[in-house]
Amino acid sequence: MPTDPVLVVHGGAWAIPDDVVDAHIRGVTNALAAGWRVLERGGSSLDAVEEAVVIMEDDETFDAGRGSFLNRDGKVQLDALIMDGATLRAGGVGCVEHLRNPVRAARKILSESPHVYFVGEGAEKFAAEHGIPLCKNEDLVIPREVERLRQYQSEAAQRDLSQSDSGQVGKELFAPAADDPTISLDTVGAVALDRDGNIAAATSTGGTLNKAPGRLGDSSLIGCGCYADNESAAASTTGWGEPIMKLVLAKWTADRIAAGNLPEWAAQEAMSYLKQRVNGHGGIIVLNREGHIGIAHNTPRMAWAYRTFKKQDAGIVRES
């Protein structure tokens, strides 16, 4: 018997100021519509999460694709992962600088490569060889982010100066404060269940503001920012990547569901664990094969949306 499809998307977890709330809700709602079109006509969960994420990569509201945060050198450097819960096949790209839609390259890796993960130039070469056009890095950079980086670096320089005045020396100039909530914001992700009962997940990000070139976050690492296994759950996380990585949080959450817990509970637990164990902040969306969903965040807000045949909803705060 065919399963009723379900789709959940997120567009980052942080304080989301009032003036960009509408853009976030619009963005996740558009992504939901694109992914749902795939599921509705009987398409796969893998295609649905890819299409949903592409819409958010193309939307400058989010820290994915064009309009992403800039690294310390003023460049966009993108990471993405997509995973198929039916086969456990996965495709990931890290530190790519010339791809508008890194999730498309990740999908090609999943479908057409014996490997799971490509980084930097090798990833771009693979993408180009598989028909994905490359772009200039400048095509991904927008004025809002140039200004954001300028402001961040000048404030950091002031901080460093005042610290050296007070005798605290040896700090790397412009190094992001490890627990600064303004540096990890608008990563995007999706999890889906299709009519055949298969689940999939995808996550895409520009990473953290002012990151060191070559820094890879949690988003594109299997089990950290993204995971899918029909025997447990599909999950996509967002937030400060380093703590999420240390806990392998997407897999941690999926394991709780495999042990018999509901996604709603597991998502909440994941956020408490993230905070308690490593003082991390972020959000998570989770879905199992029965169509149960979990959406949770330990930040003030998170952009989320979900759809089933019976219901559709979107918001920026998820009450437990």
Nearer to ligand ASP, 39 or 235 (CB): 235
Q: Taking CB under 6 A as the rule, does residue 207 contact ligand ASP? A: yes
Please indicate whether residue 299 is annotated as part of the active site.
Answer: no
* Angle between helix 249-258 and helix 263-278 axes, rounded to 10 deg: 140
Residues 29, 30, 45, 208: which binds ligand ASP (CB under 6 A)? 208
Rounded CA gap, 44 and 38, in Å?
Answer: 7
Residues 84, 97, 218, 229: which binds ligand ASP (CB under 6 A)? 218
CA distances to 29, 91, 127, 158, 290 from 134, rounded to whole Å, are 28, 18, 8, 38, 39
Helix (H) or strand (E) holding 202: strand 199-205
- Count of residues interacting with ligand ASP (CB under 6 A): 17
Q: Taking CB under 6 A as the rule, does residue 232 contact ligand ASP? A: no
Q: Are 317 and 41 in contact (CB under 8 A)?
A: no
Amino acid at 42: G
Q: Taking CB under 6 A as the rule, does residue 93 contact ligand ASP? A: no
For residue 102, which of 49, 56, 35, 57 has the smallest C-alpha distance?
57
Nearer to ligand ASP, 39 or 156 (CB): 156
Per the listing, tokens 């982010």 go with: 145
Q: Which of 61, 187, 208, 253 is catalytic?
A: 187
Nearer to ligand ASP, 197 or 217 (CB): 217
**Burial category of 182 from C-beta neighbours within 10 Å (exposed 0-12, middle 13-18, buried 19 and up):** middle
Nearer to ligand ASP, 14 or 118 (CB): 14
Rounded CA gap, 174 and 316, in Å?
Answer: 31
Residues 11, 217, 280, 294: which binds ligand ASP (CB under 6 A)? 217
Q: Are 176 and 210 in contact (CB under 8 A)?
A: yes
In whole angstroms, how close is the CB of 157 to ligand ASP at the nearest point? 23
For residue 102, which of 70, 74, 127 has the smallest C-alpha distance?
127
Q: Taking CB under 6 A as the rule, does residue 12 contact ligand ASP? A: yes
Stretch that binds ligand ASP, among 36-44, 139-147, 152-160, 216-224 (CB under 6 A): 216-224
Nearer to ligand ASP, 240 or 304 (CB): 240
Q: Taking CB under 6 A as the rule, does residue 67 contact ligand ASP? A: no
Amino acid at 282: G
In whole angstroms, how close is the CB of 28 to ligand ASP at the nearest point? 14
Rounded CA gap, 154 and 127, in Å?
Answer: 36
Stretch that binds ligand ASP, among 15-23, 107-115, 150-158, 239-247 (CB under 6 A): 239-247
Stretch that binds ligand ASP, among 95-103, 106-114, 152-160, 201-209 (CB under 6 A): 201-209
Q: Taking CB under 6 A as the rule, does residue 101 contact ligand ASP? A: no
In whole angstroms, how close is the CB of 1 to ligand ASP at the nearest point? 37
Q: Taking CB under 6 A as the rule, does residue 185 contact ligand ASP? A: yes
Stretch that binds ligand ASP, among 29-37, 133-141, 184-192, 247-255 (CB under 6 A): 184-192
CA 55, 60, 66, 70: dihedral to nearest 10 degrees? -140
Structure tokens, 267: 């998502």
Residues, the chain, total?
A: 320
Q: Are 207 and 215 in contact (CB under 8 A)?
A: yes
Q: Taking CB under 6 A as the rule, does residue 61 contact ligand ASP? A: no
User: Catalytic site residues?
Assistant: 187
Binding residues for ligand ASP, rule: CB under 6 A, are 12, 63, 184-187, 205, 207-208, 217-219, 225, 238-241
